[in-house]
């Protein structure tokens, strides 16, 4: 038996893997604070992909995009990649090569991938799909508290609250074991959809506020206004632990409930009732998710929710607080250790001279050789193949031709590359476009650490060796780095060696991992960062002070503005996207698991029956949904509680069922998060013999 953690979301539920009579692994849930002995459907079926006939086990190479892939040995594949990269860098400079990582990579892979990009390639062109996940919350949390950790408290604390407000989160479908922590509190769910979480909130005496997509910021301002109007603010907390309230209030003062109702569609009595419920609770939390972040004003929207939490005196108090629900398995750790374009390991900024000098010392290089900040994920993908953009890209653990906004445009950009190298364990839609595909190990076949949504560092353990011919990502990075002239010892292949280096590189940093070791992790000790070598873990941040120099949290003045695009007679509806219980992210893994594929075999578009009728559609019919950027096809699902002006599509499907064919790449000016959640669309019947 091997005890490890689920390969999917940031709960990182614990599980036991037992070998069966023919060597296959079976899953049993393990007792752990996040899942408390439970698993969702994805966790129960997680080992099926390990022995899938669709596993890649040999490197694949094609010298021309019109050719079929040919199986080759590792030396041939790696020599080809190194030779092409060397030639491109000589011709066009180091920024001619890009690296695109993933929030699914372990801490060790994330760290070594960032080191590879900046030392072996010398490129500034590195970012990762976590930019699409919680970058807006990270930016808002940093400017409010001086430090970003998704949840600055253990998940189990939520069970002791009286009220929890969930803004743009649907854990009943995306993180089902989390709902065990939310069974006692009354929930206020802010979501344009009548989601499974919203239904549970209403069933348990809570509330569902259904704002028009793109109006969350106005709603947060309206709730603050309502709380202030009724004398519910914690004025002592505001005076003693914060700064900037009066400036922030000047903006919120205009959002009286009736005006907020006009902007959002949420009735004014509901706004007042929600403000009272949250403010009068003996313990309360405000939690934000992707639904409130993935907008061209996502950072300001999260700031508005943080302002509400601060005004009610919630953050930095035992039994109350603010947190962000991280989505990807290592969304937290993935950005702490150097995959993000503007960050160095330990959550240090890449443009900070002191941080650069310290890391250069650890890496044994001159500080001047480290590149500066590069473009964000969307901007990086948009520049592929341009004269001044990257002409080669190394892709680890991501599938941007499905997951990125305006996916058709991204596919076109990736097709312009002179060299695309993908390391993965299945032939994802992005891998199918590659020149070289490198087969890599899966989660149960290697060791490493992950950092879950509450900042807890976890030990992932190997339960079985990878198939013959398959290498780990660390081995791939080492092999390419040495071929590019780097010393072998600079890119270790042993995860524990890399973890020790992470500790050295992050000593004294905001995300200090210097006290994290295999011995402490194997002992079962709960290691929430920061955990210094000579200190204790920090399960609850901000109880004494916030991370700004004066110890106070900052109110940030924000104001509502409309989405990047609105409806027109040609595009009269708003489309929003999200997850369903049976699938994960781009679906590259879960669509290959038979039970999950049977449960959700194809894309659907959820809409109100009256909306469907006005557009000539009925339940089960195939519809074409079209935005200014492209179209997708999906099967109609009617929902009587849906907003009349909004349709919903899951984003787990590819090709002509890809929801991101529709989505808007407009970017938040601070976080560079794309506007996934609002697209102006039209819907119409779709006639295709494949769907008849």
148 with 283, same domain: the answer is yes
Say how far apart CA 262 and CA 266 lie, in whole Å.
Answer: 8
- Percentage, residues of the chain above pLDDT 70: 99
pTM: 0.96
182 with 302, same domain: the answer is yes
Domain assignment of residue 432, yes or no = yes
Transcribe 494-558 into DSSP letters.
-HHHHHHHHHHHTTTSSS--TT--HHHHHTT--EESP--TTS---SS-SSS--SSTTS-EE----
More confident residue, 334 or 613: 613
Burial track 165-193 (b if 16+ CB lie within 10 A, e otherwise): bbbbbbbbbbbbbbbbbbeebbbbbbbbb
Q: Which residues contact 294 (CB under 8 A, 6 or more apart)?
A: 132, 136, 673, 674, 675, 676, 677
306 with 276, same domain: the answer is yes
- Would you state the pLDDT for residue 134? 85
- Of the three residues 465, 494, 523, the one that is the final residue of a domain is 494
Residue that the structure tokens 């503005």 belong to: 561
The string of pLDDT tens digits covering residues 238-273 is 999 999 999 999 999 999 999 999 999 999 999 999
208 with 66, same domain: the answer is no
Mean pLDDT of the chain: 96
- Would you state the pLDDT for residue 229? 95
CATH number of the domain where residue 233 is located: 3.40.228.10
The answer to whether the peptide bond before residue 530 is cis (omega within 30 degrees of 0) is yes
- Would you state the pLDDT for residue 59? 98
The string of pLDDT tens digits covering residues 655-682 is 999 999 999 999 999 999 999 999 999 9
The string of pLDDT tens digits covering residues 551-597 is 999 999 999 999 999 999 999 999 999 999 889 888 888 999 999 99
- Would you state the pLDDT for residue 587? 85
Strand partners, 207: 188
∠ CA 494-498-499 to the nearest 5 degrees? 115
| Domain hosting residue 608, numbered range | 573-691
Domain assignment of residue 587, yes or no = yes
Domain assignment of residue 35, yes or no = no
Domain assignment of residue 110, yes or no = yes
Domain assignment of residue 55, yes or no = no
User: In what helix (H) or strand (E) does residue 308 lie, and over which residues does it extend?
Assistant: helix 298-311
306 with 438, same domain: the answer is no
- Of the three residues 494, 519, 538, the one that is the final residue of a domain is 494
257 with 359, same domain: the answer is no
Domain assignment of residue 542, yes or no = no
- Of the three residues 455, 475, 494, the one that is the final residue of a domain is 494
Provide the 10 A C-beta neighbour count for residue 24. Answer: 13
Say how far apart CA 476 and CA 348 lie, in whole Å.
Answer: 26
Mean pLDDT value across residues 203-208:
97
CATH number of the domain where residue 483 is located: 3.40.50.740
Strand partners, 287: 166, 323
Strand, coil or helix: 18: strand
84 with 217, same domain: the answer is no
| Residue in 357, 305, 109 with CA at minimum distance from that of residue 190 | 305
215 with 340, same domain: the answer is no
Tell me: pLDDT of 478 over 80.
Answer: yes
- Would you state the pLDDT for residue 629? 97
117 with 164, same domain: the answer is no
Burial track 596-609 (b if 16+ CB lie within 10 A, e otherwise): beeebeebbbbbbb
Provide the 10 A C-beta neighbour count for residue 619. Answer: 10
Domain assignment of residue 508, yes or no = no
CA dihedral sign of residues 499, 502, 507, 510 = negative
The string of pLDDT tens digits covering residues 529-548 is 999 998 899 999 999 999 99
CATH number of the domain where residue 600 is located: 2.40.40.20
Domain assignment of residue 157, yes or no = yes
Strand, coil or helix: 658: coil
Are residues 94 and 121 in contact, defined by beta-carbon separation less than 8 angstroms? yes
675 with 612, same domain: the answer is yes
- Would you state the pLDDT for residue 689? 55
Q: Which residues contact 557 (CB under 8 A, 6 or more apart)?
A: 244, 247, 248, 250, 251
Residue that the structure tokens 């295999």 belong to: 518
The string of pLDDT tens digits covering residues 303-361 is 999 999 999 999 999 999 999 998 888 988 888 899 999 999 999 999 999 999 999 99
Report the number of distinct structural domains present in the chain: 3
289 with 370, same domain: the answer is no
Are residues 686 and 622 in contact, defined by beta-carbon separation less than 8 angstroms? yes
Are residues 300 and 558 in contact, defined by beta-carbon separation less than 8 angstroms? yes
- Would you state the pLDDT for residue 24? 87
Say how far apart CA 165 and CA 183 lie, in whole Å.
Answer: 13
Transcribe 111-147 into DSSP letters.
HHHHHIIIIII--S-EEEGGGGTSHHHHHHHHHHHSS
69 with 189, same domain: the answer is no
Say how far apart CA 95 and CA 126 lie, in whole Å.
Answer: 9
CA dihedral sign of residues 441, 444, 448, 450 = positive
């Amino acid at each position: 038996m091997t005890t490890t953690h689920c390969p999917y979301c940031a709960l990182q539920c614990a599980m036991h893997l037992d070998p069966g009579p023919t060597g296959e692994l079976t899953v049993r849930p393990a007792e752990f604070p996040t899942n408390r002995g439970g698993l969702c459907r994805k966790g129960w079926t997680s080992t099926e992909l390990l022995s899938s006939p669709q596993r890649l086990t040999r490197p694949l190479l094609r010298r021309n995009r019109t050719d079929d892939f040919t199986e080759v040995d590792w030396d041939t594949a790696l020599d080809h990649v190194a030779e092409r990269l060397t030639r491109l860098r000589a011709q066009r400079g180091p920024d001619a090569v890009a690296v695109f990582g993933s929030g699914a990579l372990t801490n060790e892979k994330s760290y070594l991938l960032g080191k590879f990009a900046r030392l072996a390639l010398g490129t500034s062109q590195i970012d990762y799909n976590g930019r699409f996940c919680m970058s807006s919350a990270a930016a808002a949390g940093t400017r409010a508290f001086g430090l970003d950790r998704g949840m600055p408290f253990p998940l189990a604390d939520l069970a002791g609250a009286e009220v929890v407000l969930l803004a743009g989160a649907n854990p009943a479908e995306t993180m089902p074991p989390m709902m065990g922590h939310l069974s006692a509190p009354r929930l206020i769910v802010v979501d344009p959809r009548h989601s499974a979480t919203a239904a549970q909130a209403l069933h348990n005496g809570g509330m569902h506020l259904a704002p028009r997509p793109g109006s969350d910021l106005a709603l947060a301002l309206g709730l603050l206004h309502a709380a202030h109007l009724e004398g519910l603010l914690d004025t002592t907390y505001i005076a003693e632990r914060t700064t900037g309230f009066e400036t922030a209030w000047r903006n919120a003062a205009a959002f009286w409930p009736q005006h907020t109702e006009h902007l959002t569609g949420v009735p004014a009595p509901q706004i007042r009732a929600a403000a009272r419920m949250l403010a009068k609770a003996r313990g309360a939390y405000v939690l934000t998710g992707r639904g409130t972040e993935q907008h061209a004003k996502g950072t300001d929207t999260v700031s508005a929710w943080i302002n509400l939490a601060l005004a009610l005196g919630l953050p930095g108090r035992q039994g109350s607080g603010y947190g962000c629900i991280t989505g990807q398995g290592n969304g937290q750790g993935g950005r702490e250790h150097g995959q993000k374009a503007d960050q160095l390991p330990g959550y240090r900024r890449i443009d900070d001279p002191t941080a650069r000098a310290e890391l250069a010392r650890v890496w044994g290089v001159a500080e001047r050789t480290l590149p500066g900040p590069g473009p964000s994920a969307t901007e990086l993908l948009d520049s592929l193949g341009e004269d001044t953009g990257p002409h080669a890209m190394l892709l680890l653990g991501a599938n941007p031709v499905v997951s990125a906004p305006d996916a058709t445009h991204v596919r076109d950009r990736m097709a312009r590359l002179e060299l695309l190298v993908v390391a993965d364990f299945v032939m994802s839609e992005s891998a199918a476009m590659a020149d070289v595909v490198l087969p890599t190990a899966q989660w149960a076949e290697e060791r490493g650490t992950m950092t879950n949504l509450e900042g807890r560092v976890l030990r992932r353990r190997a339960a079985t060796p990878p198939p013959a011919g398959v290498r780990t990502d660390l081995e791939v990075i080492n092999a390419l780095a040495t071929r590019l002239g780097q010393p072998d010892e600079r890119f270790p292949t042993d995860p524990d060696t890399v973890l020790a280096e992470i500790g050295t590189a992050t000593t004294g940093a905001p995300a200090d991992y210097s006290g994290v070791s295999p011995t402490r992790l194997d002992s079962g000790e709960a290691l929430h960062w920061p955990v210094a070598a000579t200190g204790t873990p920090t399960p609850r941040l901000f109880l004494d002070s916030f991370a700004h120099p004066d110890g106070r949290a900052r109110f940030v003045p924000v104001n509502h503005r409309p989405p990047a695009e609105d409806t027109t007679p040609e595009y009269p509806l708003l489309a929003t996207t999200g997850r369903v219980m049976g699938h994960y992210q781009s679906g590259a893994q879960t669509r290959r698991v038979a039970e999950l594929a049977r449960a959700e075999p194809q894309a659907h578009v959820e809409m109100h029956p009256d909306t469907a009728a006005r557009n000539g559609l009925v339940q089960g019919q195939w519809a074409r949904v079209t935005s200014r950027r492209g179209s997708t096809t999906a099967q109609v699902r009617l929902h009587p509680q849906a907003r009349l002006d909004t349709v919903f599509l899951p984003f787990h499907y590819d090709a002509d069922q890809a929801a991101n064919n529709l989505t808007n790449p407009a970017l938040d000016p601070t976080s560079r998060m794309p506007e996934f959640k609002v697209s102006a669309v039209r819907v119409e019947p779709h006639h295709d013999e494949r769907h008849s």
